[in-house]
């Protein structure tokens, strides 16, 4: 009699009903698909530097001494502002004085020869030689004067408004003939110079817009391509590209990242996280009847702003973004 309840209880099944078990699903977030375009860009790196066509380097044709310096690297100057005082070397001043004396002597010799010719005491050949000596003396003096030997002391002045980018000497230094003293870049003549791969040169043209960003951090600036070099840089083996920027916004020497906009890529614009590339070709998952549907795509552009892809996407089905790498084709999903 005591065993009957136990037997009755043991006849009751405790196995759960399989139909009552919830189907596993993946929690995902989605966005609506859209067609559009994103800018195609070429990323390049370089620095702020004076443009080759907007720079003036000062030197002296005569040896001498820089007795005063009025500027330093980075100084902003106005047109006509004094930059340095240069004193010509004594040897140059002596050569100029000798040339002046030689010209005076040649003039007297020519006049004397011409007078003797009228008295038939000189020949025409002698007058021709005197004329040549006079011409040679004038030429020598003009050359020395053009090279600055005639001005013992003179001031180097800025020919335009700009920035002093380099000072090659110190105050009191003696310089050789032709030695660089300082360099001034014209205002607006300072550019961002970057290097691009030679294969990309055909896509870059003067006038294209660009985004400029300091590698040290900060916001972006708008720029524009102003020059594309036609030869490889001998050092970097890249093609140099110059870009303009708002005057005064950057300083020479700052390292920069540049994104040159070379056109528009049209197609399906999707978040970068929506494109799955692991374990096969690129694909995107759309939600259809509560399940993930894999759609193979071709990536035409990949960027921080999003990707542009081609493929048989449906405008009516949402795209999986967060969770795209956790699902497979046919998996059940639930949306946030």
Residue 1 pLDDT more than 50? no
Q: Given this model, what pLDDT does residue 326 score?
A: 93
Q: Given this model, what pLDDT does residue 328 score?
A: 92
Pairing of strands 153-157, 76-77: unpaired
Residue partners of 69: CB distance under 8 A and separation at least 6? 83, 84, 167, 169, 170, 171
Residue partners of 314: CB distance under 8 A and separation at least 6? 33, 286, 288
Residue 118 pLDDT more than 70? yes
Q: Given this model, what pLDDT does residue 146 score?
A: 82
Mean pLDDT, residues 235-249 taken together: 90
Residue 17 pLDDT more than 80? no
pLDDT in tens, 176-209: 989 999 999 887 778 999 999 999 999 999 999 9
Q: Give me 113's structure tokens.
A: 């020869």
Residue 132 pLDDT more than 60? yes
Residue 81 pLDDT more than 60? yes
User: Is 252 within 8 Å of 73 (Cβ atoms)?
Assistant: no
**In the chain, % of residues over pLDDT 90:** 62
The alpha carbon of 265 is separated from its chain's Cα centroid by a whole number of angstroms, namely 24
| Separation of alpha carbons 310 and 265, rounded Å | 11
| Separation of alpha carbons 265 and 105, rounded Å | 79
Where residue 28 falls among pLDDT bands split at 50, 70, 90? Answer: very high
Mean pLDDT, the chain, whole residue set: 88
Q: Which residues pair with 43 in a beta bridge?
A: 259
Mean pLDDT, residues 75-91 taken together: 91
User: Is 267 within 8 Å of 308 (Cβ atoms)?
Assistant: yes
Radius of gyration of the chain (CA): 40
Mean pLDDT, residues 80-109 taken together: 90
pLDDT in tens, 244-269: 998 778 888 899 999 999 989 999 99
DSSP assigned state of 201: G
Residue 61 pLDDT more than 70? yes
The alpha carbon of 140 is separated from its chain's Cα centroid by a whole number of angstroms, namely 46
Q: Given this model, what pLDDT does residue 3 score?
A: 43
| Separation of alpha carbons 60 and 79, rounded Å | 20
Residue 4 pLDDT more than 70? no
User: Is 54 within 8 Å of 190 (Cβ atoms)?
Assistant: yes
Q: Given this model, what pLDDT does residue 14 score?
A: 53
Q: Given this model, what pLDDT does residue 95 score?
A: 85
Report the candidate in 83, 91, 64, 57 with the shortest Cα–Cα distance to residue 176.
Answer: 64
User: Is 188 within 8 Å of 50 (Cβ atoms)?
Assistant: no
| Separation of alpha carbons 161 and 186, rounded Å | 6
DSSP assigned state of 249: S
Q: Given this model, what pLDDT does residue 300 score?
A: 92
pLDDT in tens, 263-316: 899 999 999 999 999 988 999 999 999 999 999 999 999 887 899 999 999 999
| Separation of alpha carbons 313 and 32, rounded Å | 11
User: Is 170 within 8 Å of 84 (Cβ atoms)?
Assistant: no
Residue 92 pLDDT more than 80? yes
Report the candidate in 76, 79, 140 with the shortest Cα–Cα distance to residue 105.
Answer: 140
Q: Given this model, what pLDDT does residue 176 score?
A: 92
| Separation of alpha carbons 330 and 336, rounded Å | 18
Decide: helix, strand or coil at residue 124: helix
């Amino acid at each position: 009699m005591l065993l009957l309840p136990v037997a009755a209880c043991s006849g009751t099944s405790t196995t759960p009903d399989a139909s009552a078990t919830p189907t596993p699903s993946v929690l995902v977030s989605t966005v609506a698909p859209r067609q559009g375009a994103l800018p195609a860009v070429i990323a390049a790196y370089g620095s702020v530097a004076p443009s080759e066509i907007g720079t003036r380097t000062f030197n002296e044709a005569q040896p001498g001494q820089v007795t005063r310096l009025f500027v330093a690297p980075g100084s902003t100057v106005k047109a006509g502002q004094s930059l340095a005082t240069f004193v010509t070397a004594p040897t140059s001043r002596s050569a100029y004085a000798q040339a002046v004396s030689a010209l005076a002597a040649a003039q007297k010799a020519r006049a004397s020869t011409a007078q003797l010719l009228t008295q038939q005491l000189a020949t025409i050949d002698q007058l021709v030689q005197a004329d040549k000596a006079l011409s040679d003396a004038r030429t020598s003096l003009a050359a020395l004067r053009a090279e600055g030997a005639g001005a013992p002391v003179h001031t180097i002045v800025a020919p335009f408004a700009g920035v002093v980018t380099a000072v090659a000497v110190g105050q009191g230094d003696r310089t050789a003939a032709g030695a660089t003293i300082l360099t001034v870049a014209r205002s607006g003549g300072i550019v961002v110079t970057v290097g691009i791969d030679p294969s990309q040169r055909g896509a870059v043209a003067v006038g294209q817009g660009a985004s400029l960003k300091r590698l040290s951090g900060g916001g972006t600036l708008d720029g524009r391509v102003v020059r594309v070099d036609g030869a490889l840089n001998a050092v970097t083996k890249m093609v140099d590209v110059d870009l303009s920027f708002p005057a005064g916004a950057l300083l020479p020497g700052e390292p920069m990242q540049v994104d040159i906009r070379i056109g528009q890529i049209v197609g399906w614009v999707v978040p970068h996280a929506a494109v799955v590339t692991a374990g096969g070709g690129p694909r995107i998952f759309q939600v259809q009847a509560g399940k993930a549907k894999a759609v193979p795509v071709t990536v035409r552009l990949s960027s921080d702003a999003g990707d542009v892809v081609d493929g048989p996407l449906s405008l009516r089905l949402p795209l999986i973004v967060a969770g795209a790498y956790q699902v497979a084709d046919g998996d059940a999903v639930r949306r946030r």
